[in-house]
């Protein structure tokens, strides 16, 4: 699984090691961090692009993110795609949660799912929320889910 920084620089080490280095660096600089993980997707013809982001928020000091992208030609309904996005975010959150607990860094999982029933993505809201919460993670949906709705969204546009 290839990850990169927003600058485009490829991350060579395993993502868990890179996250730990980032936490240690930011801690030495006196920054308190929060991590938000989210995934967004964009259907383009027969292909769906996915972007998963790990967003590091520095308390009152901006942030930075790591990005993973992939593509599939698998056909999915809107609900399947939303839940696939959530699965990708949970996979990363699960890999990182012990490390984040060790460093006392809070974690949120963001779903690019609208809380307004007028939007198609809302069909997956209850399943996504139940899945994320049952894994013990903090859940955020639109409009509060900026990691997926804004950060990951910018990558797949």
- Work out the percent of the chain whose per-residue pLDDT is above 90: 96
Three-state DSSP state, 112? strand
Q: Which residues contact 77 (CB under 8 A, 6 or more apart)?
A: none
Give the pLDDT score at 33. 97
Q: Which of 106, 107, 97, 110 is nearest to 140 (CA)?
A: 110
Give residue 2's pLDDT band: very low, low, confident or very high (50, 70, 90): very high
Give the pLDDT score at 1. 82
For residue 39, CA distances in Å to 91, 123, 132 come to 11, 17, 13
Give the pLDDT score at 25. 97
Q: What is the pLDDT of residues 64-96, one digit of tens each?
A: 999 999 999 999 999 999 999 999 999 999 999
- Does 157 score more than 90 pLDDT? no
Q: What is the pLDDT of residues 46-62, one digit of tens each?
A: 999 999 999 999 998 99
Give the pLDDT score at 93. 98
User: Do the Cβ atoms of 66 and 137 come closer than 8 Å?
Assistant: no
Report DSSP letters for 9-27, one per residue. Answer: PEE-S-HHHHHHHHHHHHH
């Amino acid at each position: 699984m290839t990850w990169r920084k927003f600058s485009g620089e490829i991350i060579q080490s395993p993502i868990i090691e890179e996250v730990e280095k980032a936490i240690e660096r930011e801690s030495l600089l006196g920054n308190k961090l929060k991590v938000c993980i989210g995934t967004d997707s964009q259907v383009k013809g027969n292909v769906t692009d996915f972007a998963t982001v790990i967003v590091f928020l520095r308390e009152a000091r901006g942030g930075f993110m790591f990005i993973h992208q992939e593509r599939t030609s698998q056909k999915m309904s809107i609900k399947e795609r939303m839940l696939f996005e959530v699965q990708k975010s949970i996979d990363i959150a699960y890999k990182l949660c012990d490390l984040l607990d060790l460093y006392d860094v809070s974690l949120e999982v963001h779903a690019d799912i609208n809380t307004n029933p007028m939007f198609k993505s809302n069909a997956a809201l209850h399943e996504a929320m139940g899945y994320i919460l049952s894994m013990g993670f903090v859940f955020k949906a639109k409009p509060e889910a900026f990691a997926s709705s804004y950060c990951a969204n910018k990558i797949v546009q």
